[in-house]
A and B are shown apart, each in its own frame.
Chain A
Amino acid sequence: MTTVYVPRDAGALSLGAEAVARAIARGADSRSQALRMVRNGSRGLYFLEPLVEVDSPGGREAYGPVSAADVPGLLDAGLLEDRPAGTGGPAAKHPLALGRTEDLPYLKSQQRLTFARVGITDPTSVEDYVAHGGYRGLERALSLDPAAIVQAVTDSGLRGRGGAAFPTGIKWKTVHDQAADRKYVTCNADEGDSGTFSDRMLMEGDPLVLIEGMTIAAVAVGATQGYIYLRAEYPHAHRTLIEAITAAYGAGYLGSSVRGSGKRFDLEVRLGAGAYICGEETSMLESLEGRRGEVRVRPPLPAVKGLFGRPTIVNNVVSLSTVPVILERGAEFYRDFGMGKSRGTLPIQLGGNLRRGGLVERAFGLTLTELLYDYGGGSASGRPLRAVQVGGPLGAYIPASQFDTPVDYEALSGIGALLGHGGIVAFDDTVDMARMARYAMEFCAIESCGKCTPCRIGSTRGVEIVDRILKGIEPGANIALLEELCETMVQGSLCGLGGMAPFPVQSALKHFPEDFRRARQ
């Protein structure tokens, strides 16, 4: 019986994967062909989605992008027929045949550690997860002293992948060292940055690795309750996480005695409600407690006084999902990837105006040029790329003249940019950078929690100033005023929203001044 893989990933579904899956099932039925269908995650090659794969003795064969209308032709070409060992399947000559998935250049050159199983396994099957190396990290952690788990994470050099890049092990040690009647592990899955989707892909494609990472964190610091704070814009991830958590409970990996260790860990998903600010950790904790997502003043740090006043780990989805491989393979194994102070691998997300958007997990150190052209294939529109925004709506715009910059924390901060959550959005030469600057201020005004004045009022004034510039009203004086306002917001805001929203504005002013000197009708 042939096994066929059709992704259940929201991105693949957005391009018609559900209709493809139905057409394959219907076609197989009418041909009386037996078939086993796995609804996997996405391999992250979105330019080939919906990507259909078929098991074969030599490795999986890929076909894509497949539409429902292509399915009868694929079945006629022998998509579901048995593959004799050592040969391509009978459908290998079909125009949509891509050869072995693992040989696709986009995938072959990647170093997938965190994403090792995404697109390969059945996301909610514990059995499949374990068969592909899952839960080895937890087994190892359960054999270690909690302090040794924390040490391994510290030694790996893992830094928070949500954007702040704070060393994960140091955060864990703080929670570990607190005496408290109760501690929490929380996962920040409020992936709100435009251009980012690695959290979503992980939660939909390998949710058990996140659950395992959170369980290891709980064992390390002595926490008994975990929450995944998931943004409401991700209904598919929500369903997958709930299925996976139920499966983990059923297999004894969550609950009153994790794998018979006597250690309790309970986990649930809580939905956000469309507030970008709740990706800021203290605001997320407020929201989890059922309040307005206004930021808290630090100190105290969440690691000391977090959720419901207890010591709390707050980590991003990718950070937590990277912990299992560190425990399984060892801190040195992970640390040996990367460069300088940026250790390990980074799942980079290529979005916006690119021919080949998708997910690229590689050791730190690739340049923007390599990512945008070797992987991304240049612009989707065929026009020259003019700018990229790295790190979401609070990240700087980088001009083409700086595309030789390596993508790591230090190199980007060296040119006044930031890596954030690793999303790269590309723009072609039709982009109007003054309008993008206006949008940055507008977004900040919409999403400001309202607690501090520079962010709440400054962002609205910023929109008004850019509007005057766009109309050609006293451009010199208004540009000077805008620069001054940006400085006030950077210096005077409580958290990163007001403090960083000026970055795209300042970088647009610096690198694309011509766009601010031209009056629009």
Chain B
Amino acid sequence: MEALTASQRETVRRILTRMRDRPGPLLEILHGIQDHLGFVPGAAVPLIAAELNLSRAEVHGVVTFYHHFRHTPPGRHIVQICRAESCQSMGAEGLAEHAMRRLGVEFQETTADGAFSLHPVYCLGNCACSPAVMIDGELYGRVTPARLDELLAQREPSK
């Protein structure tokens, strides 16, 4: 397990100090860490456990239960493609295959140049405008393969 850098450690400490006294704080803390660091480093788990008087196993169990929390640093841009039924009815499977071909990665992977991480998502609540894609928190509807190419190119013009 990679050790935390000094600044990562400082960030984790700051979030713990701010949130530890809130009721049921663990998810809030994990969100705070991921929002700041981009992922939840394994080396943060013992710090969190000690602060909340939990076992490392309990904290690890929570981090790994939720799909939202990442265990490794993500790419510069996070691309989520909806795989749920509504989007499937409008061609989401083909869109996902197109994205994988274009980026040269599978779901849950990051491109070699660190530009894009590709993730599946199970409903973005945009089912009247399927298929839906979210990139860095921005929602897009009725996304065709050509439109997806445009959206990716807007973020990394060289790709």
User: Interface residues, chain A, CB within 8 Å of chain B?
Assistant: 10-11, 13-15, 46-47, 49, 191-197, 199-200, 232-236, 270-276, 287-293, 308, 349-354, 357-359, 380, 389, 393, 423, 425-428, 431, 436, 439, 443, 446-447, 449
Contact = CB atoms under 8 A, between A and B. Distances in A.
Given A273-B66, A352-B85, A447 B125 contact: no
A389 B23 CA distance: 39
Given A270-B28, A380-B90, A431-B89, A350 B123 contact: no
B27 interface: yes
Nearest to A436: B85
15 contacts: A196-B123, A233-B123, A272-B27, A273-B27, A273-B30, A274-B66, A274-B68, A275-B66, A289-B23, A290-B27, A308-B23, A380-B90, A439-B85, A443-B84, A443-B122
A197 B123 CA distance: 9
Contacts of B132: 14
A352 B86 contact: yes
Nearest to A236: B139
Nearest to B62: A292
B129 A15 contact: yes
B85 A191 contact: no
B66 A293 contact: yes
A425 B89 CA distance: 8
Given A352-B85, A357-B128, 4 more contacts: A195-B85, A197-B126, A275-B68, A357-B130
A449 B65 CA distance: 8
Interface of B: 23-28, 30-31, 58, 61-62, 65-69, 84-90, 121-130, 132, 134, 137-142
Contacts of A193: 123
A292 B61 contact: yes
A291 B62 contact: yes
Nearest to B61: A292
A352 B122 contact: no
- Which secondary structure characterizes the binding site on chain A? mixed
A436 B31 CA distance: 33
Q: Which of B25, B123, B134 gathers most chain A CB within 10 Å?
A: B123
B126 A14 contact: yes
Contacts of A13: 138-139
Contacts of B140: 14
Given A273-B67, A274-B68, A357-B129, A15 B141 contact: yes
Contacts of A235: 137
B65 A293 contact: yes
B123 to A, nearest CB: 5
Nearest to A234: B125
Given A15-B141, A270-B27, A426-B89, A275 B125 contact: no
A290 B86 contact: no
Contacts of A290: 24-28, 62
A51 B81 CA distance: 25
A275 B85 contact: no
A46 B28 contact: no
A49 B126 CA distance: 12
B106 to A, nearest CB: 15
Contacts of A389: 85
Given A200-B125, A271-B31, A292-B62, A194 B139 contact: no
A176 B63 CA distance: 35
Q: Which of B25, B58, B89, B129 gathers most chain A CB within 10 Å?
A: B89
Nearest to B66: A273
A137 to B, nearest CB: 26
